[in-house]
Amino acid sequence: MTFTYEALPMRVLFGAGSLGQLPQEADRLGLRRLLVLSTPGQRPLAERAAGLLGPTCAGLFGEARMHVPVEIADAARAAARDAGADGCLAIGGGSTVGLGKAVARDTGLPVIACAHSSPMP
């Protein structure tokens, strides 16, 4: 049995304060108009990220749902198009990252994924 595995380029930043590096990461990737994606529950974190991005934030789509319903994916793609986005920032967890992948699949836009976990008690 033979196979070929080709990994896409990836960069992982991990640790306290990593969110503050979003502007530099967007700049490093040449992204100037990011659409921030989140679930309704993660919207405060998405708004914080949008604030950190400043003028690089093209808008916020806060309707990500589990299992990425088709109508939500369609609405996010329309939001990206209407905002003139050149990339997406998926912030939160699996539902938002899944939405980012759905947008990327059909538009070719790159996605920065920022997973968030709560501190341990």
Q: What is the pLDDT of residues 95-109, one digit of tens each?
A: 999 999 999 999 999
Contacts of 47 (CB under 8 A, 6+ apart): 60
For residue 90, count other CB atoms closer than 10 A to its CB. 27
Predicted pLDDT of residue 65: 96
55 pLDDT higher than 80:
yes
Predicted pLDDT of residue 12: 80
SS3 84: coil
What order of strands is seen across the sheet that includes strand 34-37?
57-61, 34-37, 87-92, 111-115
What gap in Å lies between CA 7 and CA 55, rounded to an integer? 32
Predicted pLDDT of residue 120: 43
